[in-house]
Amino acid sequence: MTAPVGIMAALPQEVGDFASRIQSPTVTKIARRHYTQGVFGTPGGADATPVVVCVARVGKVAAASTATTLIQKFGVKTILFVGLAGGVDTAQAVRVGDIVIASHVAQHDLNASPIFPKHEIPLLGITEIPTDADWSAKLTQAAQDGIAGSTAQVHTGLILSGDQFINSASAQQALQTQWPTALAVEMEGAAVGQVCYEHGIPFAIARTISDRADDQANHDFPTFLETVAAPRANALLRALFP
């Protein structure tokens, strides 16, 4: 039996109707989360892709816990994370509605200095964790297919994670100063990245930009979440799993 692909999002809207499209689903409740397991394509057929989807809830601990369960209990062969993010690139080329595919992830709120260098993951000796090239290429293609006909663009680059919703020009500026190559900020990706790195499991992340992590973000994010997040997730995941 082929190992399943794990699909994660932080909030239900961010994974759209994916769980309800899974064939022969079984739902397992572990640690207050529902893991829906099944296949895309014809069950038992050559085109069948086994998947497990879970809404992790928000933040790095929730994401790390869910990723660990996907790996250890469900034996996933990869983890794909989909959802929203705030744009933080200094060039402001990353606009609301665009999609960012992570090339690397880092925890912007991790700071064990002076014991370890600022932002470095203690005892792993790395700061930025690379995503899987093949799965990122698949997500890029699915993102491009999903936004075809719109003015949105797909970008690839560094995504930052931290246990904070970034919602002020000064906080956005501080991230830009410390991470000049970062394109987007969210609250889970680098936690999934660390768990996958430690287990030797490939992972990839696609984030639609819902806000610019500035003073408007408190308004832009919930509006985007209610109106655009689910259709976007559906377009991306339908392109990935037709």
Provide the annotated active-site residues: 14, 211
Q: Verify binding: residue 230, ligand ADE, rule CB under 6 A.
A: no
Report whether 40 contacts 23 (CB < 8 A).
yes
Residues 81-120 binding ligand ADE (CB under 6 A) are 84-86
In the complex with ligand ADE, the residue whose CB is nearer, 18 or 221, is 221
With CB under 6 A as the contact rule, the residue among 186, 190, 195, 233 that binds ligand ADE is: 186
Question: Whose Cβ is closer to ligand ADE: residue 128's or residue 211's?
Answer: 211
The tokens describing 72, both together, are 């250890």
85 or 191: whose CB is closer to ligand ADE? 85
On whether the CB atoms of residues 218 and 167 are closer than 8 A, the answer is yes
Binding part of the chain for ligand ADE, among 13-21, 111-119, 136-144, 182-190 by CB under 6 A, reads 182-190
185 touches ligand ADE by CB under 6 A = yes
Give the contacts of 152 (CB within 8 A, at least 6 positions apart).
95, 97, 98, 99
**Helix residue spans in the chain (DSSP H):** 18-21, 60-72, 133-146, 169-178, 189-199, 217-224, 230-240
Among 19, 70, 204, 217, binds ligand ADE (CB under 6 A): 217
Question: Which of the stretches 36-44, 99-107, 123-131, 211-219 binds ligand ADE when contact is defined by CB under 6 A?
Answer: 211-219
Residue with Cβ nearer ligand ADE (121 or 185): 185
Collapse the DSSP code of 14 into the 3-class scheme (helix H, G, I; strand E, B; otherwise coil) and give the result.
helix
Cα–Cα dist 84/172, whole Å: 16
Of 145 and 163, which has the nearer Cβ to ligand ADE?
163
Q: CB–CB of 95/151 below 8 Å? A: no
Q: How many chain residues touch ligand ADE (CB under 6 A)?
A: 14
Q: What is the C-alpha to C-alpha distance for residues 53 and 15, in angstroms, rounded to an integer?
A: 9
Q: Is 164 helix (H, G, I), strand (E, B) or coil?
A: coil
Residue ranges in 161-180 that form contacts with ligand ADE under rule CB under 6 A = 165-167
Helix (H, G, I), strand (E, B) or coil at 211: strand
- Binders of ligand ADE in range 18-37 (CB under 6 A): none
Our finding on whether 188 is near ligand ADE (CB under 6 A) is: no
Alpha-carbon distance 160 to 94, whole Å? 14
Coil/strand/helix, residue 145: helix
Residue ranges binding ligand ADE (CB under 6 A): 84-86, 165-167, 185-187, 210-211, 213, 217, 221
